[in-house]
Structure 1
Amino acid sequence: MGDRIDAAREATGERVEAARVAAGERVEAARAAALEIQQRVKPKLRGVIHEYSFPVSLVAGALLVYFASGGRERVAVAIYAISLSALLGTSALYHRVNWRRPSARAWMRRLDHSMIFLLIAGTVTPFALLVVPGTLGTALLIAVWAGALAGIFVELVWVNSPKWVSVAVYLAVGWIGALAFPSIVSNAGIGAGLLIATGGILYTIGAVVYARQRPDPRPAVFGYHEIFHVLVVAAAIAHFTAVAIYAGPAG
């Protein structure tokens, strides 16, 4: 009798496991189908803004490094320039190419979202190294890079996370720099503060647009995601200007 019960339990366990695997496969197939549909109906201008911004960022970043006033300054602004170009280039590649293989598309999506965290940490780096003095600058640098690495880990592991989860983590890591805002204004001036605040506000508005998927003026041509990309570029211009004036050559 005991052997029969054990055999029945084993058979039941095998059926449950088979059902679980089959359900998982169906979920993955549904996700792949949804991504395929999204790929087919994506707006005509999806990724164009970042596609054209990418080469501009390469040239501007090279000039930023070239005109930096010293070795420490060059390292700091190079980290920022690389992070900016990495985000724009990865975004353009992900959104402009029609990825046929679902696995390749999923990995590009992971990289695209991960680059946001890289840019957040890269943007804070010049100010933490060159503007914010002493222990506060070091603490800021450690905190923002730790947060960025944690965010990248989440994106690489939880690729299909809800938009609001990604946005919440982006904002939490992004606003770590706000803790040092008074010190930045004190050491670099009100101009730097205004540029940094403007960029932060634009990034935040963009994140809200991305999470709400509104406004979505012309979904077939220029939708909510394109508005998000415009706001990202506008914010990047504000922060690039702040780095160039206050944390690079003039640092």
Structure 2
Amino acid sequence: MIFKRKYIRTEEFWNTISHGFGAVLSVAALVLLLVYSAISGSAIAVFSSLAFGLGLVLLYSASTIYHAVTDPKKKKILQKFDHLCIYLLIAGTYTPVMLLGLKGAWGWTMFGVIWGLVIIGFVFKFSALRKNEKLSLILYALMGWLAVIAIKPLFENLSTAALVHLGLGGLAYTIGIYFFANHKIKFNHFIWHIFVLAGSAFHFIGVFFYIL
């Protein structure tokens, strides 16, 4: 029992450090995105950058605070907020891709669909089904890979570099889900955090350098 408590404290320490690092990088990413999009003079670019950047900041900040807190009651509340922020980051990541990369009817339709799914995700997290972890993971994955519906117009409108980085980001998140769900692996949640950081990094590069 003592060993188990020590293990949990150790893993939570690294969980906090890893996403604390991500939170710092997210603030820097938000600033870079906003400055660069403001220079372009495009209101849609600024809006898209804000959605993506804030999604990053909220997700990593919420995760850091959740893992840092030790009080069980506070931790339970913070965990829910942490999970809600996952939906926000997914939709926030889609926003610049759809509005600046894809554009047109496809872009705005996908933008509406993904943010509509965020509302569904929020309702889900406050329903009795929220305890079903597998269902949550499936919903995250489906939202993340929803872009395949628009694969043809995406290939027609985005550069190869943008597509590669977006694809690698999605792959990193998806592989990470395996570790998140597999509690038999030691420090599985910390490993999940590393894949999340990698996914965010790939997506930031794709958006900042090849879409904005």
Q: What is the distance in 1 between the residues matched to 2:5 and 2:153?
A: 45
Counterpart-to-counterpart distance in 1, 2:151 and 2:68: 36
Q: Distance in 1 between matches of 2:8 and 2:129?
A: 21
Q: State how 1:12-91 maps to structure 2 within 5 Å.
A: 41-42=8-9, 43=11, 44-68=13-37, 69=40, 70-91=42-63
- Answer with 1 or 2: which has the greater Rg: 1
TM-score by length of 2: 0.89
CA distance in 1, matches of 2:128, 2:136: 10
Structure 1's 126 and 164: CA in aligned 2 closer, same or farther, altered over 3 A?
A: same
Q: Which amino acid aligns with 2:35?
A: Y
1: distance between equivalents of 2:118 and 2:111? 11
Query: What is the Cα deviation at residue 40 of structure 1?
Result: 8.2
Q: Which residue of 1 aligns with 2:124?
A: 154
Q: Summarize the Cα distance change of 1:66–1:214 in structure 2 as closer, same or farther, 3 Å threshold.
A: farther
How far apart are residue 176 of structure 1 and its match? 1.1
The share of aligned pairs that are identical, in percent, is 25
Q: Is the 8 A contact 1:207 1:228 kept in 2?
A: yes
SS at match of 2:168: helix
The normalised TM-score by structure 1 is 0.76
* Distance in structure 2 (CA, Å) of the matches to 1:165 and 1:180: 24
Alpha-carbon distance between aligned partners in 2 of 1:214 and 1:238, rounded to the nearest angstrom:
28
Identify the residue that residue 164 of structure 1 maps to in structure 2.
Answer: 134
Moved more, 85-94 or 147-156: 147-156
Q: Distance in 1 between matches of 2:205 and 2:184?
A: 29
Shift of 1:130: 0.9
Which residue pairs with 1:96 in the alignment?
68
Query: How many residue pairs are counted as aligned between the two chains?
Result: 204
Kindly provide the amino acid, as one letter, of the partner of residue 79 in structure 1.
A
Higher helix share: 2
The equivalent of 1:230 in structure 2 is 194
Task: Extract unaligned runs of 5+ from structure 2.
Answer: none
Check if 1:192 corresponds to 2:159: no
Deviations 1:35-86 (A, max 9, x none): xx87983413122110111112101211111011222211111110001110
Q: Which segment drifts farther, 173-182 or 195-204?
A: 173-182
**Per-residue deviation, residues 144-190 of structure 1 (Å, max 9, x unmatched):** 11112211221233485132121111111111122223322321211
RMSD over aligned Cα, in angstroms? 2.0
Return the alpha-carbon distance in structure 1 between the equivalents of residues 151 and 58 of structure 2: 25
What residue is the counterpart of 2:102 in the other structure?
A: 132
Q: State yes or no: 1:201 paired with 2:171.
A: yes
CA contact (8 A) 1:184 1:192 kept: no
Cα distance in structure 2, aligned partners of 1:49 and 1:81: 18
* Mapped pair 1:243 → 2:187: no
Q: CA 1:224–1:124 in 2, change beyond 3 Å: closer, same or farther?
A: same
Letter in 2 for 1:227: I
Q: Is the 8 A contact 2:124 2:130 kept in 1?
A: no
Give 2:203's aligned amino acid.
H
Partners of 1:131 and 1:59 in 2: CA distance: 22
Residues 196-233 of structure 1: per-residue CA shift (max 9 Å, x gap): 110011111111211123532xxxxxx00000000000
C-alpha distance in 2 between matches for 1:197 and 1:142: 21
- Residues 130 and 136 in structure 2, CA contact (< 8 A), matched pair in contact too: no
Which moved further from structure 2: 224-233 or 179-188?
179-188
Match of 2:84 among 107, 111, 114: 114
Q: Which residue pairs with 1:27 in the alignment? A: none
- Over 4 Å off, 4+ runs: 37-40
